[in-house]
Homo-oligomer: A and B are copies of this chain.
């Protein structure tokens, strides 16, 4: 089967020849049918169908059309959080007749710039970006490197950029306040991912809550940071905690780590929630179905992705009047039995 290098070999001029009109007319029937008589339009449409003509989008974009592609750069493709957001982005894209290039920066700034460069070279319409690590303004530079409209996802920017984020500090505060209200006076924060912004902010939120309660973080808060973000990292964190005096409340930077903590604790005979109250973050599907249903901070993931994509479309519409906008979404604490002492299942929302 002979194919030209770029897919279907039929070009607009083949269609024109077949329909007995000029290429301009074919182009018009595709893009401005109102300029073409019904008769020719039908002829052209027939020729298109017969030849299986699919306009070359690259050529189109080259002549100034807006690209139908947007980029999405996240820190981790397998993270349920990002994937739920990605699904929402995909949905928004689909509704706008677009398609998404999904990239994985692995939280590595170098890889991130490379990706932005590639997306720029593809002349995508724009990109959604969750910046890798803490870049201290280097971010801006990296974005400019890509020379494309960017909307930040899950990252709050100052005024001169578009962003949609979830308030991680507030989420962590919710979690720790909850533990404090339950009477725990010594709590731990288990974070992961070296320098991962989200976790840095959650640690901050934990500290804020402790302070707001009039407690001293140096005694009332144990902070543990692991390299990774998985169950195993939770296990390791719990190991650390077991070495000293165990706090009675543990807040983890994500649900996976909470599961790991749970696993290690129960292996050590520590009961959740009787001996230790456990709170996770993200409220992934599994949280509600865990051995002990996990109290967790739920993020409006779907909204996050959807809004960000919409903002990008607006931002990249070339509308001169576009003003950069920052949307900060609020997380919500879902209380389940992993934190409510004595087996009381104080479920606020059934997950």
A-side interface residues toward B, CB under 8 Å?
3, 5-8, 52, 54-59, 61-62, 64, 66-69, 77-78, 80, 83-84, 86-87, 90, 99-104, 115, 117-123, 145-148, 230-231, 259-260, 263, 285-286, 289-291, 318
Which residue of the partner chain B has the closest CB to A262? B289
Which chain B residues border A119 with CB–CB below 8 Å? Answer: 99
Q: State whether A101 touches B101 (Cβ < 8 A).
A: yes
Q: Smallest CB–CB gap between A76 and chain B, Å?
A: 9
A99 interface neighbour in B84, B103, B123, B289, Cβ under 8 Å: B103
A87 interface neighbour in B57, B59, B77, B289, Cβ under 8 Å: B77
Q: Which 3 A-B pairs have the closest CB atoms?
A: A8-B147, A102-B102, A57-B121
CA A169 to CA B289, docked complex, whole Å = 29
CA A99 to CA B64, docked complex, whole Å = 23
Q: State whether B78 touches A120 (Cβ < 8 A).
A: no
- Do A99 and B78 form a contact, CB below 8 Å, given A8-B147, A52-B147, A289-B263? no
Each complex incorporates copies of this chain amounting to 2
- Do A121 and B77 form a contact, CB below 8 Å, given A83-B83, A90-B104, A100-B101? no
Q: State whether B115 touches A99 (Cβ < 8 A).
A: yes
Which chain B residues border A83 with CB–CB below 8 Å? Answer: 77-78, 83
Q: State whether B285 touches A147 (Cβ < 8 A).
A: no
Q: State whether B3 touches A147 (Cβ < 8 A).
A: yes
Q: Smallest CB–CB gap between A55 and chain B, Å?
A: 6
Q: Smallest CB–CB gap between A276 and chain B, Å?
A: 18
Which chain B residues border A56 with CB–CB below 8 Å? Answer: 62, 121, 123
Q: Smallest CB–CB gap between A313 and chain B, Å?
A: 14
Which chain B residues border A87 with CB–CB below 8 Å? Answer: 77-78, 104
Q: State whether A118 touches B8 (Cβ < 8 A).
A: no
Q: State whether B123 touches A58 (Cβ < 8 A).
A: yes
A77 interface neighbour in B7, B90, B263, B291, Cβ under 8 Å: B90
CA A77 to CA B80, docked complex, whole Å = 10
A78 interface neighbour in B57, B58, B80, B230, Cβ under 8 Å: B80
Q: State whether B147 touches A7 (Cβ < 8 A).
A: yes
In the assembled complex, 26 residue pairs joining A and B whose CB atoms fall closer than 8 Å, in A order, are: A3-B147, A7-B120, A7-B147, A8-B147, A52-B145, A52-B147, A56-B123, A57-B123, A58-B61, A58-B62, A58-B123, A68-B118, A77-B83, A77-B86, A77-B87, A78-B80, A78-B84, A86-B102, A87-B104, A99-B115, A99-B119, A101-B101, A101-B102, A231-B289, A263-B289, A290-B291
Which chain B residues border A291 with CB–CB below 8 Å? Answer: 290-291
CA A115 to CA B7, docked complex, whole Å = 15
Which chain B residues border A80 with CB–CB below 8 Å? Answer: 78, 80
